[in-house]
Structure 1
Amino acid sequence: MTCYSSPGVLNTLYTNDCRKKKWQSHFGQGGTAYISTYININKEKERVALHFHNANEDMHPKQGSVFIPNPCSDYCKKCEMKRPPRTHHCSTCNRCVLQMDHHCIWFNNCIGYYNYRSFLLSLIYLSSACWYGVFILFRPFYTIMQEQVKTKGFRMMYENGTGFLDLPMPRDMWNEIQETGTLNVNVVLRIIAPFLFLTAMALTVFLKSHLRYVDNGLTTLERVATITFLKKQKMEEQGIDSSDSPAQKENENKYAGMKIVNPFDQGVRNNFQQVFGSNLWLLLLPWPVEAAKPFQPHKSKFE
């Protein structure tokens, strides 16, 4: 679903414009497999219209605060079109994506508002599968390593020169595969078990980061924008001038004392329902769930 479903593409709204007729879904090919994402033009137009309706042009932050992300529409210079809030241009696919999180080369697709749920489910399934593999392989792997230390002693580098795991050289393994059609079980265990563990660790850290973003009502790009703002604020408060340009000097104290406000943060429960849906039975199942309507911030809450 993550690979073949549309994340929400803004450019489809302008397909009737003579300047935009050249744009097609296959222009978004990128990543590893050069697979075209299926896009239903009529459905995509409805989605884009919902996000435009979500724009609140009259909404302004309180004095001493700044909105990240911005609830107002802006203009994409690359696509030459107006776009709704939280929409970003993907340089890989050359298109604007609704509430874009990032472009994932592993899924060969942008991760946006309408495939973010399936992306998170993929991370959950992959990390769970890797930890399951670590669990069932830990005992035989530990037995092999225990026997190795018992017979050869504990060393960081054994005679094979491949470290603590004491693996055969790649050429030797290749020769063994050609001669016997397989590898020694102990060698396979010493390769697979550590690999699964490292992969499980990386996926778990990645998943934890994304769940934290959902908790705060942010995307990866918006989190990066928040961190960038905080860094500039800290530099300004410490009196560090990052540029000597006149334009930079005119904006002195632009960040100092400013408070970041996320107008799209609805609280933990509502933020997760916005992504995963309200049906608890389908919460973690690989079943297509129609995404909730984009949240529209209340103007009276922030003025």
Structure 2
Amino acid sequence: MRSGAVVMAWNVFKFCTALRALGSLMILLVLGIVGVSYYAVVIANYGPILLAGGVGSLLALLVLVPFHVLLGMLLWTYFSVVLTDPGGVPPNWKPDVDEEIGETAPLTTSEFTSHILNLQQPGPLTDTGSPRIRYCRKCNQLKPPRCHHCSVCGRCILKMDHHCVWVVNCVGALNYKFFLLFLFYTFLETSLVTLSLFPHFIAFFEDVEIPGTPGTLATTFLTFVLNLAFALSVMGFLIMHISLVMKNTTTIEAYEKKASPKWKYDLGRKKNFEQVFGTDKKYWFIPAYSEEDLRKMPALQGLEYPTKPDVAAQ
């Protein structure tokens, strides 16, 4: 039985290592898809129409302008997710409030050490005597609320949603908004590419002569199929995450069935939305926050989250 457990752990380790290696290739894959789409839309089809002038150039302009704007936002949000640390537990972090005994003062050094010694005794991994004081035995540290350990990153992530191989990073408290914007702009961009190439796709099945080389025609066909597939799949993810934001929960929390009707972090749709996107409307559609929001909203830092008074103690 013991050897089986060792094999299981070794297999999981190999899986996590493979995800890290795969993730490095995903950036190249994303850029490759973007490059193919750019070639099909701009170089092979609408660019020549624009240069030819006439009535067709107006249609080409109506496609190319939003295409480049959305592409710029897609790349901006994508690399913001890739390059932004999702949020790790600060060194020697400890709760500001001892929830177990109801004190309002920060934990003292001796109390903090006592928690560690108690947690290292045999028992459940998160059995601290308090539902809001948790401990990670892999990182050997206390975990803030809504924090989870990522086996791929090898550390605890603040308000972890999931590890995404497409962005080679965890999606957590500090980059969740950027991830949602990436999904949003990806959906808009792939939908635009699909609609703009639809007439060219239909032409493949009509008995008409299609201008262009076999290579450009094949690229157009492939780009249409790829973008249609991505538009449909990303739409599903976007709808799911919008639902999670409205309930102020994460993918992990929903999977663990913690987001019940009495979910203590559900403060109503408006406040739930602001905990992810901030209160400044000028920043809602870009991967950034205003200085005022960062200063006044601790939830954006990933360590403290307001709760419903009637269920805070549950």
The TM-score bracket by the shorter chain reads 0.5 to 0.7
Mapped to 2, the partners of 1:84 and 1:261 lie a distance apart of 20
Aligned letter for 1:139? P
TM-score by length of 2: 0.56
Aligned to 2:227: 196
SS across alignment from 2:232: helix
Aligned letter for 2:246? D
TM-score by length of 1: 0.58
SS across alignment from 2:197: helix
Aligned to 2:83: 4
SS across alignment from 1:89: strand
Equivalent residues in 2 for 1:64-103, closer than 5 Å: 72-103=132-163
Aligned to 2:202: 142
SS across alignment from 1:184: helix
Conserved in 1, the CA contact under 8 Å of 2:82 and 2:168? yes
Residues 1:302 and 1:112: Cα distance change in structure 2 (over 3 Å): closer
Mapped to 2, the partners of 1:57 and 1:142 lie a distance apart of 66
Residues 1:197 and 1:56: Cα distance change in structure 2 (over 3 Å): farther
Mapped to 2, the partners of 1:278 and 1:55 lie a distance apart of 30
Shift of 1:288: 4.3
Equivalent residues in 2 for 1:36-51, closer than 5 Å: none
Shift of 1:4: 1.4
Mapped to 2, the partners of 1:212 and 1:191 lie a distance apart of 32
Shift of 1:260: 5.3
Residues 1:184 and 1:6: Cα distance change in structure 2 (over 3 Å): closer
Aligned to 2:283: 282
Conserved in 1, the CA contact under 8 Å of 2:265 and 2:308? no
Mapped to 1, the partners of 2:223 and 2:97 lie a distance apart of 48
Shift of 1:190: 1.9
Mapped to 2, the partners of 1:76 and 1:58 lie a distance apart of 21
SS across alignment from 2:207: helix
Conserved in 2, the CA contact under 8 Å of 1:55 and 1:71? no
Shift of 1:107: 1.2
Deviations 1:14-65 (A, max 9, x none): 3xxxxxxxxxxxxxxxxxxxxxxxxxxxxxxxxx67xx44885579xxxxxx
Aligned pair partner of 2:306 in 289, 296, 300: 296
Conserved in 1, the CA contact under 8 Å of 2:267 and 2:308? no
Aligned to 1:269: 270
- CA-atom RMSD in angstroms: 2.8
Deviations 1:211-234 (A, max 9, x none): 1110111101001111xx89xxxx
Runs of 4+ in 1 over 6 A off after TM superposition: none
Deviations 1:227-283 (A, max 9, x none): xx89xxxxxxxxxxxxxxxxxxxxxxxxxxxx6521000111111111011111221
SS across alignment from 1:265: coil
Mapped to 1, the partners of 2:185 and 2:179 lie a distance apart of 10
Aligned residues: 195
Shift of 1:116: 0.5
Residue 209, structure 1, aligned to residue 240, structure 2 = yes
Conserved in 2, the CA contact under 8 Å of 1:55 and 1:296? no
Sequence identity, in percent? 29
Residues 1:56 and 1:283: Cα distance change in structure 2 (over 3 Å): farther
Conserved in 2, the CA contact under 8 Å of 1:54 and 1:296? no
Conserved in 1, the CA contact under 8 Å of 2:263 and 2:311? no
Mapped to 1, the partners of 2:281 and 2:273 lie a distance apart of 11
Residue 131, structure 1, aligned to residue 191, structure 2 = yes
Equivalent residues in 2 for 1:179-194, closer than 5 Å: 183-194=214-225
Residues 1:54 and 1:223: Cα distance change in structure 2 (over 3 Å): farther
Aligned to 1:13: 91
Structure (1/2) with the larger helix percentage: 2
Shift of 1:184: 3.2
Mapped to 1, the partners of 2:131 and 2:190 lie a distance apart of 39
Q: Relative contact order (alpha carbons < 8 A, sep ≥ 6): 1 or 2 greater?
A: 1
Equivalent residues in 2 for 1:220-231, closer than 5 Å: 220-226=251-257
Mapped to 1, the partners of 2:195 and 2:97 lie a distance apart of 46
Residues 1:56 and 1:299: Cα distance change in structure 2 (over 3 Å): farther
Conserved in 2, the CA contact under 8 Å of 1:97 and 1:112? yes
Residues 1:84 and 1:139: Cα distance change in structure 2 (over 3 Å): same
Mapped to 1, the partners of 2:235 and 2:98 lie a distance apart of 34
Conserved in 2, the CA contact under 8 Å of 1:7 and 1:114? yes
Conserved in 1, the CA contact under 8 Å of 2:177 and 2:287? no
Residues 1:88 and 1:202: Cα distance change in structure 2 (over 3 Å): same
Aligned letter for 2:274? Q
